[in-house]
Amino acid sequence: MEPHELTSLLTEARERTLALVEDLTGEELIGPRLDIVNPPLWEIGHVAWFQEKWVLRHRRARPPRRPDGDALYDSAAVHHDTRWDLPLPSRRDTLDYMEDVLTRARQALIENAPSEDGTYFGLLALFHEHMHAEALAYTRQTHGYRAPYRHAPATGGPLAGDVAIPGGTFRLGAGPDGSFVFDNEKWAHAVDVRPYAMARAPVTNVEYVKFVEARGYERREFWSEAGWRWRESAGARAPVYWTELGGAWVRRHFDTLVPLPPHHPILHVNAHEAEAYCRFAKRRLPTEAEWEMAAALDPGTGRKRRYPWGDEPPTPERANLDWVRGGLLPVDALPSGESAFGCRQMLGNVWEWTATDFGPYPGFVVDPYKEYSEPWFTGHRVLRGGCWTTRSALIRNTWRNFYPPHRRDVWAGFRTCAIDD
């Protein structure tokens, strides 16, 4: 990648980050103390600190822009629960710090070009900022702040049925093709996959309502041991942002209650809820390998595609990414984004829970950013596919997301597989 292209991408990412906080009041920039999100003021400072660390300080030994930066923003050292108590800089000082770091980072990337090392760490900072922009979006949703972008609801219908996938030996993970990948994607390795049938689309609201109205949250037989403990602790009776008004279900979209679109994917459910629904519906979650095979394999050639539709980059006609529509689409939208097997919306719209615990691939070697994957190899579940707030530059068929199975604040739903006879 040319340095001017990379610096342009960094500039655009920063503009997106700032747009997500520019309307927030000083009180909202701190927000309620919760164990699932960060204070937005801390988060934007952390984004700048991370960029400074890896683009300017790593291997260049430049002094930090802020002498207190490590003590404030190093997420590996600053415990989550303490971030509301830190002496954080003011909004103005934080924005000045962000602008100064970005200016110096762009200059360093251009001055040191061509540098494979510089490109790698520039991309690392870029993708890290993309991930935190998505986190800022679900922070706004969690707190009930205003929607950062206008959502034009789209009408559409269901997409029923399964596709048959023959299974076989499949190379799970990313190959060393020269493009940037994270350490948890490395490297492609052979796995055996039995034949299976996967839903063409994610589970929808109208399908999930049947589970809720059958008192599925109160029926122990649908829940795993861990899931039932979570349900009792949380007191859950429905998805987290659902409310029943006048005999109909509505959902909170940021600060507004909206009618529940019947054919949109179910959103903001955790892995326990997904598994309970599957037992109710006599279905199951796909494994990570099944999900990637359905998304990536071209059965005609036997090769893997970078995206479900091929190797061409995402466009709004193929995937609901990049905040373009401000929210979800119905599951029958975007037919040009189907995988070779006929599964739709495997990238974008909603993240999809899988049945696979997050862990290292064989021969795992940690990358320079050691805190990205390795600390989370216990107690997390793999999600795949991205959502409407995911940046298209970040996502691909091999990209692995991971959250604890109780998290339902993230933009996650799921699709199902048939249970083997």
Closest CA to 213 of 241, 250, 238: 238
By the 8 A CB rule, do 191 and 167 touch?
A: no
Phi/psi for 357 (5° steps) reads -70, 145
DSSP-derived 3-state class of residue 311: coil
CA distance 14 to 132: 11
Q: Which of 397, 240, 204, 225 is nearest to 306 (CA)?
A: 397
Residues 6+ apart with CB under 8 A from 404: 379, 380, 381
Q: pLDDT by residue for the chain (421 residues), tens digit each? A: 888 999 999 999 999 999 999 999 999 999 999 999 999 999 999 999 999 999 999 877 778 999 999 999 999 999 999 999 999 999 999 999 999 999 999 999 998 876 778 899 999 999 999 999 999 999 999 999 999 988 877 889 999 999 999 999 999 999 998 899 999 999 999 999 999 999 999 999 999 999 999 999 999 999 999 999 999 999 999 999 999 999 999 999 999 999 999 999 999 999 999 999 999 999 999 999 999 999 999 999 999 999 999 999 999 999 999 999 999 999 999 999 999 999 999 999 999 999 999 999 999 999 999 999 999 999 999 999 999 999 999 999 999 999 999 999 999 999 999 998 6
Number of other CB atoms surrounding residue 372 within 10 Å? 16
Domains of the chain with bracketed CATH: 3-143 (1.20.120), 152-421 (3.90.1580.10)
Name the DSSP class of 37. Answer: -
- What's the number of CA atoms in the CB half-sphere (13 Å) around residue 67? 0
CA 268 to chain centre: 12
Contact 38, 87 (CB under 8 A): no
Using alpha carbons only, what angle is made at residue 108 by residues 46 and 313, rounded to the nearest 5 degrees? Answer: 75
Query: What is the distance in angstroms between the CA of the first residue and the CA of the last residue of the chain?
Result: 49
Q: In this structure, what token pair is assigned to residue 134?
A: 């998505």
Per-position b or e across 337-361, b if 16+ CB within 10 A of its CB: bbbbbbbbbbbbbbbbbbbbebeeb
Q: Report the alpha-carbon angle 76-373-187, nearest 5.
A: 155
Please classify residue 194 by burial: count the beta carbons closer than 10 Å to its beta carbon, then call 0-12 exposed, 13-18 middle and 19+ buried.
exposed
Q: How many alpha carbons fall within 13 Å on the CB side of residue 100?
A: 11
Check whether the bond before 187 is cis (ω within 30° of 0).
yes
